[in-house]
Amino acid sequence: MKTKMENLEQVSSNKIFGGQQRVYSHESSELKCKMNFSLYLPPQAEGGDVKLPVIYYLSGLTCTEQNFITKSGFQRYAAEHGIIVIGPDTSPRGVKIDGDDESWDFGVSAGFYLDAAKEPWSKNYRMGSYLNTELYDLILKAFSNVVDPDRIGIMGHSMGGHGALVSTLRNPGQYKSVSAFAPICNPTACPWGVKAFNGYLGEDKAKWVEWDATELVKKYEGPPLTLLIDQGAADKFYIEKQLLPENLVEACRSVGVPVILNLREGYDHSYYYISSFIGEHFDFHAKILKA
Amino acid sequence: MKTKMENLEQVSSNKIFGGQQRVYSHESSELKCKMNFSLYLPPQAEGGDVKLPVIYYLSGLTCTEQNFITKSGFQRYAAEHGIIVIGPDTSPRGVKIDGDDESWDFGVSAGFYLDAAKEPWSKNYRMGSYLNTELYDLILKAFSNVVDPDRIGIMGHSMGGHGALVSTLRNPGQYKSVSAFAPICNPTACPWGVKAFNGYLGEDKAKWVEWDATELVKKYEGPPLTLLIDQGAADKFYIEKQLLPENLVEACRSVGVPVILNLREGYDHSYYYISSFIGEHFDFHAKILKA
């Protein structure tokens, strides 16, 4: 399949479950660096004469675009449902900022899918606008022959679960379906979030609530939405209160937003856990996107 | 689940598809070093009052015990069928021999599942006896409460496909079912095999044929056996004639051993390819092991 964008470079393509698992790179104007993203074209995309639904998948801390496509086994389900799947990277790459590689939960691989407001991060760390505007528009244009712009969903894991929820709540209607594995549900109230928001957004907590799903859902006024939240009960980060799904559920119930919280006994935070339930998440998204 | 072996150490355990993906380590007397292996216990093993079939999976060049368990997605099928799956490492580890890390296709991660006859390799590089005697017996003893000794199969990829075929043909009846993804079918006739056999076995080609599936099948006199060979048609190593499945098929046909060769259009040598068809291989093994 040829794309219509000249600044898009195909890095790799491997056949899997009858479709093509691709990685592309492009120069991002929001992030001012070269970025990779993954794109799975299910077998139904061949020929390019039918518009398919799309799911974005946002990865967690320490990941690149590779973890999800090699470890989750999602391609089987994407092929069954005929869904295109796109996996962005987790932060700007190759941009050298003092302190960007000092910790695994801030800086490189830890962009938190937000737009930084504080120097020196505000120049490049604009993952919110990158994902929801630049990459989103690029996909619509470059793959306009196979992408149905009216049937786009989003999911994610951990930091990426936060990203999926926040992207949906901040951009009403842009994502028709949303789910998350072990998401950071209330970043203003957990150590990971407090560190990241202090670093990227500064001390003004009025800015923090704009990137916190538990806060955002309380004032959500977009189209009807059901949140699907999945959580391993043996997940160390859940036990350590980094994820706080109960806070999000309580906020949803306080404003009448439907939410499903599936607690999975014995499961941890790893891709072993994700791979066990990603089929269920594809079923959930397919039911909405193919309704 | 407790094991009965005191020299067995559990390195990790993660819940996946209702079962447990474990990694164990132990001191190997054959290899004279500490070795890891993976073990998947499907949900049916819980309680330990039913004996389940077992499949060994042998990995290819450059792999450890990790690649298969993180990338193939096999756990879904093992859980569906109620099969225990064991994945050994690909060479001795932590044994320093001059030249053992100079190339990716010889030495570390490239043990070729044979017993080396040539110094300095013959002391440690005894993966054939390690797999088919030491580890095999250890599993029977340590997991005797869940393993059915009469229902054991084997599969592998590339170098590990060679290992699966050769282990089955050299030890008639030990493995009831065998299949391989992109196996090195005729190592005495391809560059990888010639390099490895020269290095591990020396110049005496009478020794080489004892570790070559295409040669071994010609004199196979064990219980009836069907070989399932899977091959991606776009596999670079197939095109470069490292794998030579046609030679094995011809040898099988010459002696009346049933063989199935599935050529998969567009698929390469990667785990993207394996994950697409490993479900079919589990179906094949289950049909035999659960007959």
| pLDDT at site A1 | 47
Instruction: Give residue-wise pLDDT tens across range B73-131.
Output: 999 999 999 999 999 999 999 999 999 999 999 999 999 999 999 999 999 999 999 99
Q: Which of A27, A212, A4, A10 is nearest to A134 (CA)?
A: A27
Beta carbons of A181 and A175 less than 8 angstroms apart: no
Q: Is B266 helix (H, G, I), strand (E, B) or coil?
A: coil
A189 at B interface, C-beta within 8 A: no
- Identity of the residue numbered B79: A
Q: Do B17 and A275 touch (CB under 8 A)?
A: yes
Q: Nearest chain B Cα to A267, which residue?
A: B15
Torsion of CA A236, A238, A243, A247, to 10 degrees: -170
Percent of chain B topping pLDDT 70: 98
Beta carbons of A242 and A185 less than 8 angstroms apart: no
Environment class of B5 (CB within 10 Å of its CB; exposed 0-12, middle 13-18, buried 19+): middle
- Residue position matching structure tokens 């939410």: A259
Report whether pLDDT(B43) > 80.
yes
The residues, ordered by sequence, that sit 6+ positions from A16 with a Cβ below 8 Å of its Cβ are: A40, A75, B272, B273, B275, B276
What's the residue count for chain A? 291
B43 at A interface, C-beta within 8 A: no
Beta carbons of A232 and A276 less than 8 angstroms apart: no
Beta bridge partners of B55: B85, B153
Beta carbons of B31 and B130 less than 8 angstroms apart: yes
| pLDDT at site A35 | 98
- Closest by Cβ to B275, choosing from A16, A266, A276: A16
| pLDDT at site A49 | 82
Chain B positions touching A18 (Cβ under 8 A) are: 276
Q: Nearest chain B Cα to A68, which residue?
A: B71
Instruction: Choose, out of B15, B267, B274, the residue to mutate when testing the contact with A (most A CBs < 10 Å).
Output: B15
Q: Which of B87, B106, B248, B242 is nearest to B155 (CA)?
A: B87
What is the reported pTM? 0.96
Question: Which one-letter DSSP state was computed for residue B278?
Answer: H
A73 at B interface, C-beta within 8 A: yes
Q: Do B15 and A273 touch (CB under 8 A)?
A: yes
Let me know if B158 is a catalytic residue. yes
Per-residue pLDDT for chain A (291 aa), expressed as one digit of tens each? 445 466 899 999 999 999 999 999 999 999 999 999 999 999 999 987 899 999 999 999 999 999 999 999 999 999 999 999 999 999 999 999 999 999 999 999 999 999 999 999 999 999 999 999 999 999 999 999 999 999 999 999 999 999 999 999 999 999 999 999 999 999 999 999 999 999 999 999 999 999 999 999 999 999 999 999 999 999 999 999 999 999 999 999 999 999 999 999 999 999 999 999 999 999 999 999 999
Mean pLDDT of B278-287: 98
Beta carbons of A209 and A215 less than 8 angstroms apart: yes
Instruction: Write down the ipTM of this complex.
Output: 0.95
Instruction: Give residue-wise pLDDT tens across range B191-237.
Output: 999 999 999 999 999 999 999 999 999 999 999 999 999 999 999 99
Chain A positions touching B14 (Cβ under 8 A) are: 268, 270, 272-273
A234 at B interface, C-beta within 8 A: yes
Confidence band, pLDDT 50/70/90 cuts, at residue B7: confident
Instruction: List the alpha helices (DSSP H) in A32-152.
Output: 66-71, 75-81, 127-129, 136-142
Q: Do B15 and A271 touch (CB under 8 A)?
A: no
How far apart are the CA of B99 and the nearest CA of chain A, in angstroms?
A: 31
**Cα–Cα distance measured from residue A40 to residue A30, given in angstroms and rounded to the nearest whole number:** 24
Chain B positions touching A15 (Cβ under 8 A) are: 232, 234, 266-268, 272-273, 276
Instruction: List the alpha helices (DSSP H) in A86-150.
Output: 127-129, 136-142
Chain A positions touching B272 (Cβ under 8 A) are: 14-16, 21, 75
Answer whether the bond into residue B120 is a cis peptide, omega within 30°: yes
Instruction: Give residue-wise pLDDT tens across range B129-150.
Output: 999 999 999 999 999 999 999 9
| pLDDT at site B3 | 52
Q: Nearest chain A Cα to B71, which residue?
A: A71
How far apart are the CA of A284 and the nearest CA of chain B, in angstroms?
A: 18
Let me know if A158 is a catalytic residue. yes
The residues, ordered by sequence, that sit 6+ positions from B167 with a Cβ below 8 Å of its Cβ are: B58, B113, B128, B131, B132, B154, B174, B175
